[in-house]
Chains A and B, each alone.
Chain A
């Protein structure tokens, strides 16, 4: 499967990229975000939210694991970090097959629940201002979305 690389220099650019992506997503789409602290995962999620028309503040879901937001499509923002030591299913099916967009941080901890078709996105901080954001589409539909984004 092809990969797609984007470089952003400001958080506004990261948000714009995410907003563009949000407009191409369909109900039930699952996106995973990986990368270190301060690499831009939360900023990117804010961008997806803004693209979906969410007006509420999007902040860390770490404490409750899932935060749900209402936009033109519902947005489910998950941080499954604390599920590392358990094989718990907190109803992922309902989110992943639901009417909204799921954005999952620390998704490697719930590999067995992730759908095969999804969009994995990795964030790497090159230096203070430069980030490389790499898209790994899984499935034709997501590859098309990435091609559209690159145009």
Chain B
């Protein structure tokens, strides 16, 4: 990266890893010029979860529409773009492929540099569209597929210090929501019900071994399901609001406590929250109060940047591009792309 860089840099981001077809143009890695997201939630509702085949079909239908809308909103053309960045993984393979192949076609046709981006690196970098990073920092990534604590000592470097040993937090939310017969996606419904109920059922908190930053939500999920089942057998009716509040209290307490301990141990200056579950009001409230007056800055992105979008991919891709990452024409969708290995690419230059 040159200090003499004076020309503004425009990065195109493409994201199709799950059920949102998204493109965005980001200026200098921090400023959104255009951000378009075509959501498929409606199509997946009746299945109670994302159906891969349907997701891929939607991406194919949406991708050119989203591309045109992005450039028309930005009032720009491909000629203004410095690099094309795309989510290469992790995610659903068929869904990822649409984005990766579109990015490759655009880069090839317009002779633009191509950069692959890790989806979780993107979620973390959503925060940089809001606030500059201060290292070292810890990111709490919570979504349907992820629950991780990631330490960053500098741009583009990611160390996983804790992760779930079984289900992701968002997965637990979805399964509990299904048991409570709430519509998909379940997280926001539980979050809303929780504010109307009392956390009066004592669900377990999985702290694991002393000093571990790993998570486990599978026992909690089973406990909620068993509690509901047992109540039904005894003809008791548990208030859904109370179940939601008690379940959420357990998840939020574990996430907040572990994040706080890790932040103290690693002496970080900033704590970032990322991923779809970062939209959860209960989690936001608890984290805010835990980090108040600690001198550690807590950053939670605005709601529209918590869920999948392409601005975050362009933001993370901009760093990778400026660090010299380039993908070849053999760039492929990698449904289980490893964040730490992805992170090492930057250090192998």
Q: Return chain A residues, CB-CB under 8 Å to B93.
A: 66, 90-91
Among A52-60, A113-121, A129-137, the one that faces the other chain is A52-60
Are B51 and A56 touching (Cβ within 8 A)? no
Are B167 and A64 touching (Cβ within 8 A)? no
Are A38 and B336 touching (Cβ within 8 A)? no
Are B163 and A37 touching (Cβ within 8 A)? no
Closest to B90 in A: A64
- For the complex, is A6 an interface residue (Cβ under 8 Å from B)? no
Q: Return chain B residues, CB-CB under 8 Å to A37.
A: 218, 221-222, 225
- For the complex, is B122 an interface residue (Cβ under 8 Å from A)? no
CB distance from A95 to the nearest CB of B (A): 11
Closest to B17 in A: A64
Of B47, B163, B166, B336, which is within 8 A of A64 by CB? B336
Are B51 and A64 touching (Cβ within 8 A)? no
Q: Return chain A residues, CB-CB under 8 Å to B90.
A: 64
Q: Return chain A residues, CB-CB under 8 Å to B336.
A: 64, 66-69
Chain B 320-349: CB-based contact to A (< 8 A → 1; otherwise 0): 000000000000000110100000000000
Are B222 and A65 touching (Cβ within 8 A)? no
- For the complex, is A144 an interface residue (Cβ under 8 Å from B)? no
**A7 CA to B270 CA, complexed, in Å:** 49
Q: Return chain B residues, CB-CB under 8 Å to A68.
A: 335-336
Chain A 11-36: CB-based contact to B (< 8 A → 1; otherwise 0): 00000000000000000000000000
Q: Return chain A residues, CB-CB under 8 Å to B221.
A: 37
Are B165 and A57 touching (Cβ within 8 A)? yes
Of A38, A66, A69, A82, which is within 8 A of B50 by CB? A82
Are B218 and A38 touching (Cβ within 8 A)? yes
- For the complex, is B52 an interface residue (Cβ under 8 Å from A)? yes
Are B167 and A38 touching (Cβ within 8 A)? no
Q: From DSSP, what is the main secondary structure of chain B's interface residues?
A: loop
Closest to B94 in A: A90
Of A57, A59, A62, A65, which is within 8 A of B52 by CB? A65
- For the complex, is B3 an interface residue (Cβ under 8 Å from A)? no
CB distance from A50 to the nearest CB of B (A): 13
Are B52 and A82 touching (Cβ within 8 A)? yes
- For the complex, is B164 an interface residue (Cβ under 8 Å from A)? yes
CB distance from A82 to the nearest CB of B (A): 5
Are B164 and A59 touching (Cβ within 8 A)? yes
- For the complex, is B136 an interface residue (Cβ under 8 Å from A)? no
Closest to B217 in A: A60
Q: Tally A-B pairs: CB < 8 A.
A: 72
CB distance from B255 to the nearest CB of A (A): 16
Are A65 and B92 touching (Cβ within 8 A)? yes
**A86 CA to B56 CA, complexed, in Å:** 13
Say whether, besides A59-B164, A66-B335, A66-B336, A82 and B171 are in contact (CB < 8 Å).
no
Are A59 and B167 touching (Cβ within 8 A)? yes
**A42 CA to B94 CA, complexed, in Å:** 25
Chain B 297-322: CB-based contact to A (< 8 A → 1; otherwise 0): 00000000000000000000000000
- For the complex, is B210 an interface residue (Cβ under 8 Å from A)? no
Of B163, B225, B335, which is within 8 A of A59 by CB? B163
Chain B 36-55: CB-based contact to A (< 8 A → 1; otherwise 0): 00000000000101111110
Are A83 and B338 touching (Cβ within 8 A)? no
CB distance from B59 to the nearest CB of A (A): 15
Are A60 and B167 touching (Cβ within 8 A)? yes
- For the complex, is B204 an interface residue (Cβ under 8 Å from A)? no
- For the complex, is A63 an interface residue (Cβ under 8 Å from B)? yes
Chain B 210-230: CB-based contact to A (< 8 A → 1; otherwise 0): 000010001101100100000
CB distance from A77 to the nearest CB of B (A): 9
- For the complex, is B168 an interface residue (Cβ under 8 Å from A)? yes
Q: Which positions in A face B, CB cutoff 8 Å? A: 37-38, 42, 56-57, 59-60, 62-69, 82-83, 85-86, 88, 90-91
Q: Which positions in B face A, CB cutoff 8 Å? A: 47, 49-54, 90-94, 144-146, 163-168, 170-171, 214, 218-219, 221-222, 225, 335-336, 338
